[in-house]
Chain A
Amino acid sequence: MARPSHPEAMTPHRPGSTRTAPPQVPDDFWTRRRMLTYLLFDATGLPYMLVGLVALRVAFALGRGPEAWASLMEQFSHPIYVALHLLALVSVLFVGVRFFRLFPKAQPAKLGPAKPPPAPVIVIGLYGAWIGLTLALLVVLGGIWP
């Protein structure tokens, strides 16, 4: 079975003489594995937005002084906040892995006179930079250095 696409999808500017049925997509297209993965990728925008709002709360609490800050830190131990941050972490990992997989082939065939490096090198570089930056942040935020 099928459901309608946009009624003008792939419709010519000058319609032909034959009446046509409107464009359709398979009814269950969004439940198919690849499309579901893509829709989940799109849905990761929601946890990012929520974490962005939380970040605003953090900034406001910081401006209100030590008591507001301490209160917010206490709120952050609530299971809802923990769940949100875990969801955001999973979203970042999911988007990162997808992005790194698709990034190499989006590179131009030539960068001026040079060619971009082979795809495996780009992917290793991306993962290396990601892991390196994460470790650097952990070292700084964890108080290990400086």
Chain B
Amino acid sequence: MAAHSGEMRKRTFVVTRFDPDVDQVPKTQSYEVACRPDWKVLDALNHIKDEVDPTLSHRWSCRMAVCGSCGMNVNGEPKLTCKTALSEYGDVVEVAPLANFPIVRDLVIEMDGFMEKFQAVKPWIITAKEKAAEQGTNLQSPEDLAAFKQFSMCINCMLCYAACPVVAKEPHFLGPAAIALGHRYNMDSRDEGAEERNEIFRGEGSVFHCSYANECSEVCPKGVDPAAAVNQAKLGAVVDWASSFVVKRSR
């Protein structure tokens, strides 16, 4: 194991606690932790869980910013805690569950609402006619791939939902990641489902709720730029609506 240079630094972690069997509302609890200089926020939370208070609940998995499990609000900003160095912070670090989500317990949020929105945009390839396996694969040029690749890099960490001021006020809004994913399939040269998705984009959770605050893109840890996707999707939804008056629809 590599040696850890530098001195330990004592920090106070102000962590949101909520026990659904006991608490009516969330509260905070402070923990004093001597932190190693190379620690991420997640390391400190794991230390608290392992050494100080085993009742603390938080989600994490891969520790390398790929699985998207460890998203939390750190000093008010949505962050992947496995990627966020403690050296960026001072002596007091506030860790709260992701904003705008119901809280299941402590730092664990309810994800089902997010999954419903995800499913709503039909995030799969839709084709008018199923292609038989013997007809071969669907070919795609590098240029076609480049049109949507950026939007397929999302790891579903939900930081964009925690940052979005519209999500905070409009519960029906599909939200950044779901729209980015729907737009990703609309841009896919193999897909024929844009009409269906554009109808969803114009529906109850409309893309037009977005006021382009750009917060989703500011906090995205993977550079997906959901704000770009949402605003491109707005144009796509309008063009699709307008063209429906002049071009007869197949479905």
Q: Which residues of A contact B (CB under 8 A)?
A: 1-2, 5-6, 8-14, 16, 18-26, 28-29, 32, 34-35, 38, 42, 102, 105-110
Q: How far is the CB of A102 from chain B (nearest CB, A)?
A: 6
In-complex Cβ contact of A105 among B102, B218, B231 (8 A): B231
Are B232 and A107 in touch, CB under 8 angstroms? yes
Q: How far is the CB of B245 from chain A (nearest CB, A)?
A: 19
Task: Give the residue among B168, B231, B234 with the most A Cβ atoms within 10 A.
Answer: B168
Q: Tell me, in angstroms, the Cα distance from A1 to B14 when the chains sit together.
A: 10
Query: Which residues 72-119 in B have Cβ within 8 Å of A in the complex?
Result: 73, 76-77, 96-97, 99-105, 109-110, 112-116
- Residue total for B at the interface (Cβ-Cβ under 8 A): 52
- Given contacts A25-B168, A105-B228, A109-B147, whether A38 and B213 have CB atoms under 8 Å apart is yes
Are B20 and A18 in touch, CB under 8 angstroms? yes
B23 located at the interface, meaning its Cβ lies under 8 Å from any Cβ of chain A in the complex: yes
**Smallest CB-CB separation from A34: which chain B residue?**
B218
Q: How far is the CB of A79 from chain B (nearest CB, A)?
A: 33
Q: Tell me, in angstroms, the Cα distance from A146 to B31 when the chains sit together.
A: 74
Q: Which residues of B contact A (CB under 8 A)?
A: 16, 18, 20, 23, 25-26, 28, 73, 76-77, 96-97, 99-105, 109-110, 112-116, 146-148, 161, 165, 167-171, 175, 187, 211-215, 218, 225, 227-228, 231-232, 234-236
Are A25 and B99 in touch, CB under 8 angstroms? yes
